[in-house]
Amino acid sequence: MTTLLSLRDVWVEYGDKVVLERVDLDIEQGSFVSVVGPSGAGKSTFLRLVLGQEGPTRGQILLDGIPLTAECHPDRGVVFQRYSVFPHLTAVQNVAFGLECDQSLLLGKLFGRAKRDALARATEMLAAVGLEHNLDVYPAQMSGGMQQRLAIAQALIKHPRVLLLDEPFGALDPGIRNDMHTLVTRLWREHGLTIIMVTHDIKEAFKLGTRVLAFDKRRIDPHAPNRFGATAVYDVPVTKKTQAEAIAADLAGGAAA
Amino acid sequence: MRVVNIKPRPGARFLIGLVPIVVILIVYAILSAARLEANPNDRVLPTFSAMGQAVAQFATQTDPRTGQITAWSDTIASLYRLGIGVIIATFATLLIGIALGVVPLVRAALGPLVAIIAVIPPIAILPILFIAMGLGEASKIALIALGIAPFMIRDLAAHVAGLPVEQMIKAQTLGANSWQLTLRVALPQALPRLIDSLRLSMGPAWVFLISAEAIASDVGLGYRIFLVRRYLAMDIILPYVAWISLLAIATDALLLLISRKAFPWAHGGTL
ipTM of the complex: 0.86
Measured CA to CA, the distance from residue A146 to residue B166 in angstroms comes to 18
Confidence of residue A65 (pLDDT cuts 50, 70, 90): confident
Residue pair A215/A35 in contact (Cβ under 8 Å)? The answer is yes
User: Is residue A170 very low, low, confident or very high in pLDDT (cuts 50, 70, 90)?
Assistant: confident
Please state the separation of Cα A221 from the chain's center in Å: 32
**Residues A130 and A44 sit within 8 Å (Cβ to Cβ):** no
Q: Between B197 and A257, where is the model more confident?
A: B197
Give pLDDT tens digits for B140-171.
999 999 999 999 999 999 999 999 999 999 99
Measured between alpha carbons, how far is A119 from A124 in angstroms, rounded to an integer? Answer: 9
Predicted TM-score (pTM) of the model is 0.86
The whole-chain average pLDDT of chain B stands at 92
Report the CATH superfamily, name and number, of domain B58-267. Answer: MetI-like (1.10.3720.10)
Residue B33 near residue B47, CB atoms below 8 Å? yes
pLDDT at A256: 46
pLDDT tens-digit series, residues B46-93:
999 999 998 888 888 888 888 888 899 999 999 999 999 999 999 999
Q: Is A233 helix (H, G, I), strand (E, B) or coil?
A: strand
Q: What angle do CA B188, B191, B194 make, to 5 degrees?
A: 155
Residue count (chain B): 271
- Ranges of CATH 3.40.50.300 domains, chain A: 1-75+161-167+189-194+209-219
Q: What is the mean pLDDT of residues A2-21?
A: 87
Length of chain A equals 257
**pLDDT by residue (tens digit) across A97-145?**
999 988 877 787 888 888 888 999 999 999 988 898 988 999 999 988 8
Domain A1-75+161-167+189-194+209-219: which CATH class? alpha beta
* Whether the predicted pLDDT of A64 surpasses 90: no
Chain A: which residues have CB within 8 Å of chain B?
51, 53, 71-74, 76-78, 80, 82-90, 97-98, 100-102, 105-109, 136-138, 140-141, 151, 154-155, 158, 160
What residue type is B234 in one-letter code? M
Whether residue B138 is predicted with pLDDT greater than 90 in this model: the reply is yes
Q: Of B166, B176, B266, which is closest to A84 when you measure between CB atoms?
A: B166
Confidence of residue B99 (pLDDT cuts 50, 70, 90): very high
Count other C-beta atoms under 10 Å from residue B129's C-beta.
Answer: 19
- Nearest CA of chain A to the CA of B165: how many Å? 8
In this predicted structure, the answer to whether residue A176 has a pLDDT above a threshold of 60 is yes
- Name the nearest CA neighbour of A151 among B173, B224, B235, B39: B173
CB-CB neighbours of A229 under 10 Å? 23
Task: Give residue B208's pLDDT band: very low, low, confident or very high (50, 70, 90).
Answer: very high
Q: Which whole number is the average pLDDT over A212-237?
A: 84
Q: What is the pLDDT of residue A257?
A: 42
Q: Given an 8 Å threshold on Cβ–Cβ distance, is A158 in contact with B173?
A: yes
pLDDT digits (tens, 9 = 90+) for A28-63: 888 999 999 888 788 888 999 999 898 889 888 988
Helices (H), chain B: 10-38, 48-60, 70-102, 104-119, 126-133, 137-161, 165-173, 178-181, 187-215, 221-228, 234-262
Helix (H, G, I), strand (E, B) or coil at A27: strand
Q: Is the Cβ–Cβ distance between A27 and A194 less than 8 Å?
A: yes
| Residue A176, SS3 per DSSP | helix
Check if the beta carbon of residue B235 is closer than 8 Å to that of residue B43. Answer: yes
In tens, the pLDDT along B233-262 reads: 899 999 999 999 999 999 999 999 999 999
Report the pLDDT averaged over residues A146-172: 91
Q: What is the pLDDT of residue A37?
A: 87
B184 CB neighbours in chain A (<8 A) are: 97, 100-101, 108-109
Domain boundaries, chain B: 3-45, 58-267
Residues 6+ apart with CB under 8 A from B63: B69, B70
Rounded Cα distance between A141 and A137, Å, is: 7
